[in-house]
Amino acid sequence: MKKWPCIICPLIMILVLASFGFTTTSEVKVPERLKVIKPTLVLFPKNRTISTPSIVAPPFLGSCYVGFKEALAFKESQGNYFITNTLGYLGKYQFGIGTLQLMGVYNATRFINDPRLQEKVFHTNIARNKWILRKDINLFVGSKIKGVEITESGILAAAHLAGPGNVKKYLRSNGKLDVKDAYGTSLADYLKKFSGYDVSEVSAIRNPKV
């Protein structure tokens, strides 16, 4: 009688284990509310391909002075301190040799390799342009030209693009005397793109030097 448990127990174990290999699965039904029957916003865009370049956006730093200069730098060079464009303009803010000399900088190699110097030159140039355009800033800020509200930051950005003299001509001609750089960007573009920043921390200085 004692032999029966020894024989039956192994048989039961074999039957249990074998049952896992022969079980059949029943069909799983997907609820209607979970079925995808038409394109949705979370699907891959219809006309997008793998070769489509990603969109690069500038860092958003608000409307303070830092936000202004970083947005302007991104437009000029995507914030690259060590770049020289096809026309020979240098650095993060794309300065020409003539403008650098006005700021007291005569060594282009040192300039392109010194981020701190580039930041000082930018601030100094903004102070200089603010002095040259002080009367126009007082006269035109708050008005509209060609539907674009004129702001102090827009004026200073436009001066960075094409010089304060051209900005004066644009404002005083009510937008008739517009100019573009070699890449097709106009004063009107900068007046609109860089409007509304707070640049009050920069003081207007006559003939400043780095």
Q: Encode pLDDT of 5-32 as tens digits.
A: 556 655 666 665 555 554 444 555 655 5
As a whole-number percent, the residues of the chain with pLDDT over 70 amount to 71
The predicted pLDDT at position 116 comes to: 97
Residue 157 has pLDDT above 60, yes or no: yes
Residue 4 has pLDDT above 70, yes or no: no
The predicted pLDDT at position 62 comes to: 80
pLDDT digits (tens, 9 = 90+) for 76-94: 999 999 999 999 999 999 9
Q: How confident is the model at residue 55 (pLDDT cuts 50, 70, 90)?
A: very low
Q: Average pLDDT of the chain?
A: 83
- How far is the C-alpha of 70 from the C-alpha of 96, rounded, in Å? 19
Across 137-159, b (16+ Cβ under 10 Å) vs e yields: beebeeeebeebebbbbbbbbbb
